[in-house]
Amino acid sequence: MKQADGRLGLAATDLANHIACGHLTTLNLRVARGELGSYTNFDPLLKILAERGREHEAEYEAHLRAQGHTTVMAEAEASPLGFMDQGVQVITQARLGGGVWGGRSDFLVRVERPSERWSWSYEVVDAKLASETRAGAVLQLCVYSELLGELQGRMPDEMHIVRPGPGFPRDSFRFDEYGAIYRAIKKDLEQRVASPASTYPEPVAHCESCNWQGRCEDERRADDHLSLVANLTRLHRRELGGVGITTLTELGKVALPWPHKPERGQRATYERLAHQARLQLAARSLEVPPFELLPVEPERGLARLPEPSPGDVFLDLEGDAFIDEAGREYLFGWATPDGQYRGVWAFDDARERAGFETLIDVLMARWTAEPGMHVYHFAPYETTALKRLAGQYGTRAEELDRLLRGRRFVDLHSVTRQALRAGVESYSIKYLEPIIGYTREIDLDLAGTSHRALKLTLQRGLAGIVDPAWMADVEAYNRDDCVAARRLRDWLEARRGEVAARGASIERPPLDDGNPEEAVPKSEAARIAARLLADLPADRSSRDADQQARWLLGHMMEWYWR
């Protein structure tokens, strides 16, 4: 988004930013009009990724040339039309547009479909490092394709993204399938910049990767915004705004029982949020946030804590859904009550499978040695990831199923939420650590920077340039998470003991050996699967088409049982 000679110009990235956050559009518009200074945040990783992006484009261009295509650079040209008139096969860095919308496409590739001008036409190809194409990238393709269509007199049928990898994997999209939503979002952005509306920095997913994150967070804190209240959603804020409550302080001072009849939801919900705000308000004048235990209920909260065992394991996985096609669990970490910690790294399929198998084997061995063993984790992520890995690799499914049937996994996040209310903005384990008396070994800001760098690098398929220092920081962070989970379990146990000492009856969950009611015999399908999967490369990128077909068929054989 830039303004020159009194005219505002929009780029494809502005459309992607607009769907990510409407307030980001407002900020960028104010910068373009000179009403606000631009926010600069030098990030060495982004510089590395930009360089790798240029290398990826150059490698793809070399790949096209090796296939016999003629390529020309149009970067210095005001328009690629001259090269298009000549029928050049591939045009790189072509400038498109020139009115309100403009941009520069990585590649325009000739296709043998007639346009108004020639017996051929062109389609847009962009080179992206990310392993999975996201909505913003598709919208950018739509911008380039529409501008290209105006230039050649025919809308391209398809638009494409090429990713790093053998043969440069290509994702293709039909413009007609995305055109309606693209035009709606484009119209909304054009109306927004023509008639700017007041916006507020509501927290959204894009905040994590936004340059303006610090500014927006400071604004919310200065305003004592309701988003600071733990577990208070945008719908809650809308309901509260309707009765004149717009700050955490106002909510925390509401006299209970809740005096307003909600248009949506129940009074109990808003009483709970008012209690939460009251605790957070009190925490502002205390060194350690206050907490209050909730009434004990059967099979909830403190009643979900099993008897501690020397065989217990405290588990934390580090992963990302946008690494490779199926996502990646790149670090398996666990700690034990004797203070031992182990971390297993996995940047490819073979190592991920091996890490998963190692973890499950460790859990089963400890269960055999200590029948009271349980696996403590924080939030449902770990069990969800383990189920995915068992299905993806067709291994350790029976063992994992037994662990699940035996109720050996204990979600400490769920236990905590059901057991108490605390004066914290979030019930993530980092916010609970001052209450349970845990101090991390590694600085969270340093760990966060390294974690972000590692994830972004792996998302772009660049495991070969991962800095060992990032790995050391992330492993230290993971170890802290595992040890903090152990400390939280022990702290909850102490609170359970206090409640029991006051005369409350709190039963332990029953132990279950996890064995099925009926043994599942090995079937002929399992034997066929073993033959199909024999001698196949573990990593998908190393399998040819026939091997991949065998791999898929082999894992389908026992699909219904799994």
Cα 437-439-443 angle, rounded to 5 deg:
155
Cα-only R_g, the chain: 28
Q: What is the DSSP letter of 372?
A: T
φ, ψ (nearest 5 deg) of residue 543: -95, 140
pLDDT at 532: 85
Q: Which two three-digit tokens encode residue 63? A: 């790949």
**pLDDT bracket for residue 167 (50, 70, 90):** confident
Mean pLDDT of the chain: 92
* Domain ranges for the chain: 2-194, 224-285, 301-501, 524-556
pLDDT in tens, 434-469: 999 999 999 999 999 899 899 988 987 889 999 999
330 has pLDDT over 60: yes
**pLDDT bracket for residue 322 (50, 70, 90):** confident
Residue 506 to residue 299: CA distance in whole angstroms: 9
Cα 512-344-562 angle, rounded to 5 deg:
45
pLDDT at 44: 61
Q: Which option is the CATH number for 301-501: 3.40.50, 3.30.1380, 1.25.40, 3.30.420?
A: 3.30.420
Q: Mean pLDDT over residues 425-429, rounded?
A: 96
Say which residues have a Cβ less than 8 Å from residue 368's Cβ, sequence separation at least 6. none
119 has pLDDT over 60: yes
What is the three-state SS of 513-526? CCCCCCCCCCCHHH
pLDDT in tens, 206-264: 887 788 988 999 999 999 999 999 999 999 999 999 999 999 999 999 999 999 999 99
Q: Mean pLDDT over residues 183-195, rounded?
A: 96
Dihedral in degrees, nearest 10, Cα atoms 516, 519, 520, 522: 140
What is the three-state SS of 263-321? CCCCHHHHHHHHHHHHHHHHHCCCCCCCEEECCCCCCCHHHHCCCCCCCCEEEEEEEEC
pLDDT at 259: 96
Taking CA atoms, 13 is separated from 1, 2, 101, 278, 548, in Å, by 8, 12, 11, 42, 37
306 has pLDDT over 90: yes
Q: Mean pLDDT over residues 535-539, rounded?
A: 80
pLDDT at 134: 77
CATH architecture of 2-194: Alpha-Beta Complex (3.90)
pLDDT in tens, 142-159: 999 999 999 999 999 999
pLDDT at 515: 87
* pLDDT above 70 as % of the chain: 95
397 has pLDDT over 80: yes
Q: What is the DSSP letter of 247?
A: B
